[in-house]
Amino acid sequence: MAFFSDLVGLADPDTFAAHLSPLRKTEWVVYAKPPFGGPEAVLAYLSRYTHRVAISNHRLVRADASTVAFRWKDYRIKRADRMKVMRLPTSEFICRFLIHVLPSGFHRIRHSGFLANGIRRDRIAKIRCLLNAEPEPDQKPDEATSAECDVQPAHQPCPKCGGAMIVIETFLHGQTPKSRAPPWEDAA
């Protein structure tokens, strides 16, 4: 056993026994509540904490005294039937569920923008290129980028029809454009 800070002195077995001796003389009364009323009551209790935590209520399929069944998506399968049902012992399900519950005072933050998972590597590479910054020296080789800056062409293709788009005006954030955009036309 290791003790730190103000408790370093308790590492000595005699000091530790002397520290516990008053506690041995105290008459301890243990009050234990009866256990939950079965797996339904456990799931009812846990369901209050599932909103945007680890699993939503609609994914829970069934539960009995020994198992919990829930739906999960197999991302390795590229066709439509990716949803599967997993059955776990109740204790294992609770252990896996509680891994995703944040301690009190913590908030879940999901990255968006240039740190969004699908575009992070490319965007960080482009930002480094634009800033003329080299990758960190302790970075793994596959994370380092060898791509050059992508220079935007003067005429970009329209994402809808593929025709050439021409830049009419460029203005800074907060700056008022000199020309006004044409009014929207209804496509109906």
pLDDT 10s digits, 85-125: 999 999 999 888 888 777 777 766 666 676 777 777 888 88
At position 49, the amino acid (one-letter code) is Y
Neighbours of 68 (CB within 10 A): 25
Question: Do the Cβ atoms of 50 and 70 come closer than 8 Å?
Answer: no
Quote the domain boundaries for residue 63.
39-99
Same-domain status, 94 and 131: no
The answer to whether residue 49 sits within a structural domain is yes
Question: Do the Cβ atoms of 108 and 116 come closer than 8 Å?
Answer: no
Which tens digit of pLDDT belongs to each residue from 119-174?
Answer: 778 888 888 888 888 877 766 544 444 445 555 555 677 777 888 877 777 777 77
Q: Rounded distance, CA 106 to CA 126, Å? A: 32
Work out how many domains the chain is built from and give that number: 2
Same-domain status, 75 and 51: yes
Mean pLDDT of the chain: 76
pTM across the whole model: 0.33
The answer to whether residue 17 sits within a structural domain is no
